[in-house]
Structure 1
Amino acid sequence: MAEVMPVVQRVPGVALLKAYRREWLAKDVVAGVVLTTLLVPQGMAYAELAGLPPITGLYTTIMCLLGYAVLGPSRILVLGPDSSLGPMIAATVLPLVGSGGDPQRAVALASVLAILVAVIMTVAAVAKLGFIADLLSKPTMLGYMNGLALTILVGQLPKLFGFKVDADGLVGEVVGFVQGVAQGEAVPAAVAVGGVGIVLVLALQRWVPRVPAIMVMVVLAILATSLFGLAARGVDLVGVLPKGFPPFTIPDLQRGDIALLVGGALGIATISLADTISTSSAFAARSGQEVHGNQEMIGIGAANLAAGLFQGFPVSTSGSRTAVAERSGAKTQLTGVVGAGLIIVMIVLVPGLLQNLPQPALAAVVITASLSLADVPGTARLWKQQRIEFVLSVAAFLGVALLGVLPGIAIAIGLSILNVFRRAWLPYETVLGKVDGLEGYHDVHSYPDARRLPGLVIYRFDAPLFFANAKTFRDEVRTLARTEPRPRWILVAAEPITDVDTTASDVLQELDEELDGAGTHLVFAELKDPVRRKMDRYGLARQIEPRHFFPTLESAISAYQAETGARWHESAASEAAPGSA
Structure 2
Amino acid sequence: MKLSHWLPCLDWGRRYDRGSATQDGLAALIVTLMLIPQSLAYAMLAGLPPVTGLYASILPLLAYALFGSSRTLAVGPVAVVSLMTAATLAPLFPAGSAEYVGAAMLLALLSGLLLAAMAMLRLGFIANFLSHPVVSGFISASGILIAVGQLKHLLGVSASGENLPQLLPQLIQALPGTHGTTLLIGVLSLAWLWWARSRLKQLLQGLGLLPQLASNLAKAGPVLAIIVAIAAVALLQLEQAGVKVVGQVPQGLPGLTLPTMDLDLAIQLLPAALLISLVGFVESVSVGQTLAAKRRQRIQPDNELLGLGAANIAASFSGGFPVTGGFARSVVNYDAGARTPMAGVFTALGIGLSVMLLTPLLHDLPQAVLAATIIVAVLSLVDLKSLQHTWRYSRQDGAAQIATLLGVLLIGVEAGILLGVGLSLLLFLWRTSQPHIAVVGQVPGSEHFRNVERFAVIETPSVLSLRVDESLYFPNARYLEDRIGELIASRPQVRHLVLMCSGVNLIDASALDSLHAIVERLHTAGVQLHLSEVKGPVMDQLRRSDFLERFGGQVFISQFEALKQLAPCLHRHLLSHFPCKEIPMKSAHDLVLAAKTRITEVDLSQAEAAIRDADLLIDVREADEYSAAHIPGAINIPRGLLEFKLSNDTQLAERTLKLVLYCKNSGRSALAADALREMGYRNVLSLAGGIEAWQAAGRELLAPTLPAFD
Say yes or no: does 1:194 pair with 2:186: yes
Alignment map for 1:283-302 (pairs within 5 Å): 283-302=291-310
State the number of aligned residues: 562
What amino acid is aligned across from residue 346 of structure 1 in structure 2?
S
Alpha-carbon distance between aligned partners in 2 of 1:232 and 1:410, rounded to the nearest angstrom: 45
What amino acid is aligned across from residue 201 of structure 1 in structure 2?
L
Counterpart of 2:46 in structure 1 is 50
Alpha-carbon distance between aligned partners in 1 of 2:520 and 2:4, rounded to the nearest angstrom: 64
Alpha-carbon distance between aligned partners in 1 of 2:402 and 2:466, rounded to the nearest angstrom: 35
Alpha-carbon distance between aligned partners in 2 of 1:168 and 1:9, rounded to the nearest angstrom: 41
- The alpha-carbon deviation at position 538 of structure 1 amounts to 3.5
- The alpha-carbon deviation at position 424 of structure 1 amounts to 2.3
- The alpha-carbon deviation at position 189 of structure 1 amounts to 1.8
Alpha-carbon distance between aligned partners in 2 of 1:343 and 1:287, rounded to the nearest angstrom: 28
Tell me, yes or no, if the aligned pair for 2:47 and 2:95 is still in contact at 8 Å: no
Counterpart of 2:88 in structure 1 is 92
Tell me, yes or no, if the aligned pair for 2:154 and 2:371 is still in contact at 8 Å: yes
Counterpart of 1:579 in structure 2 is none
- String of CA shifts for 1:64-95, please: whole Å, max 9, x gaps: 11111222222221100010101211122222
Identity of counterpart residues, as a percentage? 31
Alpha-carbon distance between aligned partners in 2 of 1:533 and 1:440, rounded to the nearest angstrom: 25
Counterpart of 2:533 in structure 1 is 526
Specify the SS of the correspondent of 1:95: coil
- The alpha-carbon deviation at position 566 of structure 1 amounts to 9.6
Q: Which runs of 5+ in 1 are unaligned?
A: 573-581
Tell me, yes or no, if the aligned pair for 1:490 and 1:520 is still in contact at 8 Å: yes
- String of CA shifts for 1:445-470, please: whole Å, max 9, x gaps: 321x2221122221111111111000
- The alpha-carbon deviation at position 366 of structure 1 amounts to 1.2
Say yes or no: does 1:175 pair with 2:175: no
Alignment map for 1:136-535 (pairs within 5 Å): 136-181=130-175, 184-209=176-201, 210=215, 211-212=218-219, 213-226=221-234, 228-447=236-455, 449-535=456-542
Structure 1 pair 7–537 and aligned structure 2 pair: CA distance change class (3 A): closer
- The alpha-carbon deviation at position 321 of structure 1 amounts to 0.9
Alpha-carbon distance between aligned partners in 1 of 2:4 and 2:405, rounded to the nearest angstrom: 45
Alpha-carbon distance between aligned partners in 2 of 1:203 and 1:475, rounded to the nearest angstrom: 62
Tell me, yes or no, if the aligned pair for 2:77 and 2:322 is still in contact at 8 Å: yes
Tell me, yes or no, if the aligned pair for 2:28 and 2:333 is still in contact at 8 Å: yes
- The alpha-carbon deviation at position 436 of structure 1 amounts to 2.5
Alpha-carbon distance between aligned partners in 2 of 1:89 and 1:235, rounded to the nearest angstrom: 26
Alpha-carbon distance between aligned partners in 1 of 2:262 and 2:571, rounded to the nearest angstrom: 82
- String of CA shifts for 1:23-47, please: whole Å, max 9, x gaps: 2333322322222111111111111
Say yes or no: does 1:561 pair with 2:557: no
Structure 1 pair 257–508 and aligned structure 2 pair: CA distance change class (3 A): same
- The alpha-carbon deviation at position 370 of structure 1 amounts to 1.6
Counterpart of 1:11 in structure 2 is 7
- The alpha-carbon deviation at position 103 of structure 1 amounts to 1.1
After the TM superposition, which of the residue ranges 431-440 and 144-153 deviates more from structure 2? 431-440
Counterpart of 2:73 in structure 1 is 77
Say yes or no: does 1:549 pair with 2:560: no
Alpha-carbon distance between aligned partners in 1 of 2:565 and 2:546, rounded to the nearest angstrom: 24
After the TM superposition, which of the residue ranges 405-414 and 142-151 deviates more from structure 2? 405-414
Specify the SS of the correspondent of 1:112: helix
Tell me, yes or no, if the aligned pair for 1:241 and 1:347 is still in contact at 8 Å: no
Structure 1 pair 140–168 and aligned structure 2 pair: CA distance change class (3 A): closer
- String of CA shifts for 1:460-504, please: whole Å, max 9, x gaps: 111111110001111111111011444222211112112211211
- The alpha-carbon deviation at position 263 of structure 1 amounts to 0.4
Alpha-carbon distance between aligned partners in 2 of 1:102 and 1:27, rounded to the nearest angstrom: 38
- The alpha-carbon deviation at position 536 of structure 1 amounts to 4.3
Tell me, yes or no, if the aligned pair for 1:140 and 1:415 is still in contact at 8 Å: no
After the TM superposition, which of the residue ranges 112-121 and 553-562 deviates more from structure 2? 553-562
Tell me, yes or no, if the aligned pair for 2:27 and 2:343 is still in contact at 8 Å: yes
Alpha-carbon distance between aligned partners in 2 of 1:240 and 1:411, rounded to the nearest angstrom: 41
**TM-score, scaled to structure 2:** 0.75
- The alpha-carbon deviation at position 255 of structure 1 amounts to 4.2
Alpha-carbon distance between aligned partners in 1 of 2:12 and 2:125, rounded to the nearest angstrom: 27
Tell me, yes or no, if the aligned pair for 1:502 and 1:538 is still in contact at 8 Å: no
Structure 1 pair 367–440 and aligned structure 2 pair: CA distance change class (3 A): same
Say yes or no: does 1:29 pair with 2:25: yes
- The alpha-carbon deviation at position 53 of structure 1 amounts to 1.0
Tell me, yes or no, if the aligned pair for 1:139 and 1:392 is still in contact at 8 Å: yes
Q: Which runs of 5+ in 2 are unaligned?
A: 202-214, 575-585, 590-710
- The alpha-carbon deviation at position 404 of structure 1 amounts to 0.9
Alpha-carbon distance between aligned partners in 1 of 2:25 and 2:469, rounded to the nearest angstrom: 54
Root-mean-square deviation (CA, aligned residues, Å) is 2.4
What amino acid is aligned across from residue 537 of structure 2 in structure 1?
P
Alpha-carbon distance between aligned partners in 2 of 1:382 and 1:102, rounded to the nearest angstrom: 40
Alpha-carbon distance between aligned partners in 1 of 2:499 and 2:438, rounded to the nearest angstrom: 10
Tell me, yes or no, if the aligned pair for 1:133 and 1:273 is still in contact at 8 Å: yes
Alpha-carbon distance between aligned partners in 1 of 2:132 and 2:145, rounded to the nearest angstrom: 20
Alpha-carbon distance between aligned partners in 2 of 1:491 and 1:353, rounded to the nearest angstrom: 78
Specify the SS of the correspondent of 2:497: strand
Specify the SS of the correspondent of 2:369: helix
Structure 1 pair 21–175 and aligned structure 2 pair: CA distance change class (3 A): same
Structure 1 pair 398–312 and aligned structure 2 pair: CA distance change class (3 A): same
- The alpha-carbon deviation at position 369 of structure 1 amounts to 1.9
Alpha-carbon distance between aligned partners in 2 of 1:248 and 1:432, rounded to the nearest angstrom: 68
- The alpha-carbon deviation at position 232 of structure 1 amounts to 3.8
Specify the SS of the correspondent of 1:25: helix
Structure 1 pair 127–566 and aligned structure 2 pair: CA distance change class (3 A): same
Alignment map for 1:96-111 (pairs within 5 Å): 96-97=92-93, 100=94, 103-111=97-105
- The alpha-carbon deviation at position 13 of structure 1 amounts to 3.0
Alpha-carbon distance between aligned partners in 2 of 1:430 and 1:252, rounded to the nearest angstrom: 60
What amino acid is aligned across from residue 410 of structure 1 in structure 2?
L
Alpha-carbon distance between aligned partners in 1 of 2:418 and 2:328, rounded to the nearest angstrom: 26
Structure 1 pair 81–101 and aligned structure 2 pair: CA distance change class (3 A): closer
Counterpart of 1:578 in structure 2 is none
Alpha-carbon distance between aligned partners in 2 of 1:77 and 1:340, rounded to the nearest angstrom: 13
Alpha-carbon distance between aligned partners in 2 of 1:8 and 1:564, rounded to the nearest angstrom: 62
Structure 1 pair 388–566 and aligned structure 2 pair: CA distance change class (3 A): farther
What amino acid is aligned across from residue 43 of structure 1 in structure 2?
S
Alpha-carbon distance between aligned partners in 1 of 2:139 and 2:479, rounded to the nearest angstrom: 35
Tell me, yes or no, if the aligned pair for 1:456 and 1:488 is still in contact at 8 Å: yes
- String of CA shifts for 1:537-580, please: whole Å, max 9, x gaps: 433235410x43222212211221138999679689xxxxxxxx
Alpha-carbon distance between aligned partners in 2 of 1:566 and 1:513, rounded to the nearest angstrom: 32
Specify the SS of the correspondent of 2:531: strand
Alpha-carbon distance between aligned partners in 2 of 1:485 and 1:567, rounded to the nearest angstrom: 23
Structure 1 pair 140–335 and aligned structure 2 pair: CA distance change class (3 A): same
**TM-score, scaled to structure 1:** 0.91
Specify the SS of the correspondent of 2:438: strand
Specify the SS of the correspondent of 2:363: coil
- String of CA shifts for 1:207-232, please: whole Å, max 9, x gaps: 33511222232223223324554324
Counterpart of 1:575 in structure 2 is none
Alpha-carbon distance between aligned partners in 2 of 1:7 and 1:529, rounded to the nearest angstrom: 35
Alpha-carbon distance between aligned partners in 1 of 2:348 and 2:229, rounded to the nearest angstrom: 24
Tell me, yes or no, if the aligned pair for 1:526 and 1:550 is still in contact at 8 Å: yes
